Amino acid sequence: MPKPANPKISAEQFLKQISSEYDGLSRQLKAIARYVERHREHIGLDGIQHLAEQCEVQPSAVVRFAKHFGFSGFSEMQGLFREGLTRQLVPNRNYKTRIRDVIKAGRERLSSPTIADEFLAGSLAGMQDLKNNLDGPTFKKAVDLLLKADCVWIAAARRAFPVAVYLNYALQHTDKRVGLVSALGSMQQGQIRSVRKGDVMIAISFSPYAEETLSVVAQAAERGAKVIAITDSRMSPMVKLAQTTLVVQDNSTFGFRSLTSTLGLAQSLFIALAYALELPSHATN
């Protein structure tokens, strides 16, 4: 049954509502939900036909999606994403338009400096998006969890693994006990046995989500540890097991996703924790 529309709802609240109801949606509506979250900067600008094509569904499915969440139709849902659109998102959209034009042209061979320029422009756009959309209370909750943790564990695999290695290195500059679940030699099952109640695990994974990371997170939660998920979607399978989730989406350029935004988020997390750990000592001086 469609829900009554809430005229006071914000885009951020709408995305949280989508996340909470995601598991109960049909396959087509799930595809639309994922697109809306990952491309919300386009929803306020692109038409229903474009959205439907990107999700590989009929426009009627988009209307059904909007009505499921209490809107009269696509236009009313689209209006939710138009507020503040020009101020916040035009730089990112300009970048994406330029990179698409470069790829579509395809007639000239790209120079190495041009490739570097486009890739770095994509990284900058991703950082700006993270800056605009990082949820302050959620980030603070992650820092507070780390502050109270007996031991901090870090788990990631594949593309996300460099972020885990950085956090392992950075957190060793604090007084916290730190453990990296590296899965080296497929020995993550042995490593996870040391996780216990009072510990916190930072888990990093992006679509299509590494099975080894998901397994480690599930076992850590079973052992009583709290989980901080760093992932690219509120619909990520890690979200259900996490006490808090930091959503970050790195831009893709020429089919390659950078780690710029994710590493920036990881560094911010470490610095905020280090600052919080130093406050008590300064208060007693």
Confidence class for position 89, pLDDT limits 50, 70, 90: very low
Q: Residue ranges of the domains in the chain?
A: 11-80, 89-133, 136-283
Tell me the average pLDDT across 17-44: 87
How does pLDDT run across 173-191, given as a tens digit for each residue? 999 999 999 866 566 677 7
Q: What is the pLDDT of residue 101?
A: 58
36 against 191, higher pLDDT: 36
How does pLDDT run across 256-283, given as a tens digit for each residue? 788 999 999 999 999 999 999 987 655 5
Radius of gyration over every alpha carbon of the chain, rounded to an integer in angstroms: 21
Q: 252 pairs with which residues across the strands?
A: 257
Mean pLDDT of the chain: 84
Q: What is the pLDDT of residue 234?
A: 87
Q: With 70 as the cut, is the pLDDT of residue 36 above it?
A: yes
CATH assignment, 136-283: 3.40.50.10490
Q: What percent of the chain has pLDDT over 70?
A: 83
Q: What is the pLDDT of residue 90?
A: 46
How does pLDDT run across 101-128, given as a tens digit for each residue? 555 555 567 788 888 888 888 888 888 8
Q: With 50 as the cut, is the pLDDT of residue 41 above it?
A: yes
Q: What is the pLDDT of residue 224?
A: 94
Phi, psi of 223 (to 5 degrees): -85, 5
Q: With 70 as the cut, is the pLDDT of residue 93 above it?
A: no
Tell me the average pLDDT across 38-67: 88
DSSP structural state of residue 210 = -
Same fold, 11-80 and 136-283: no
Q: With 90 as the cut, is the pLDDT of residue 79 above it?
A: no
Confidence class for position 62, pLDDT limits 50, 70, 90: very high
Confidence class for position 3, pLDDT limits 50, 70, 90: low
Give the sheet arrangement for strand 151-156, strand by strand: 177-181, 151-156, 200-205, 226-231, 244-247
Q: 152 pairs with which residues across the strands?
A: 178, 200
CA distance 114 to 122: 12
Q: What percent of the chain has pLDDT over 90?
A: 44
Q: With 50 as the cut, is the pLDDT of residue 87 above it?
A: no
137 against 256, higher pLDDT: 137
CATH assignment, 11-80: 1.10.10.10
SS3 272: helix
Q: What is the pLDDT of residue 104?
A: 58
Q: With 70 as the cut, is the pLDDT of residue 157 above it?
A: yes
Alpha helices in the chain (DSSP H): 11-21, 27-38, 40-43, 48-55, 59-68, 74-80, 85-105, 112-133, 136-148, 161-171, 188-192, 211-222, 260-283
Q: What is the pLDDT of residue 47?
A: 87
